[in-house]
Amino acid sequence: MVVDGPMIATELRRRRVRPRSVADGVEMVNRSTWIAGDLQFVDTAILVLAALSLTPDEQASASS
């Protein structure tokens, strides 16, 4: 399934993933990535990795 930043952000917020900056970092990203399976059934760790892969480098290092 191809997903974009806002879709991942919405799912991370639904799951109440902390820190919240993970979801906030991809909210406005206009890129997409591929995730195997339905977004609602993918492991949370995979969603976090997908979010980090869409986050610009300078933003990813600032949230660490």
* Segments forming the whole domain that contains residue 36: 2-62
Q: List Cα–Cα distances, 13 to 36, 58, 60, in angstroms.
A: 20, 22, 18
Q: What are the pLDDT digits (tens) for 25-64?
A: 899 998 999 999 899 999 999 999 999 999 876 544 455 5
Highest mean pLDDT among 14-18, 19-23, 55-59: 14-18
Within 10 angstroms of residue 28's Cβ, the number of other Cβ atoms is 9
* Integer Cα distance of 1 and 57 in angstroms: 24
Is the CB of residue 25 less than 8 Å from the CB of residue 60? yes
Q: How many folded domains does the chain comprise?
A: 1
Residue type, 43: D
Task: Read off the amino acid at residue 6.
Answer: P
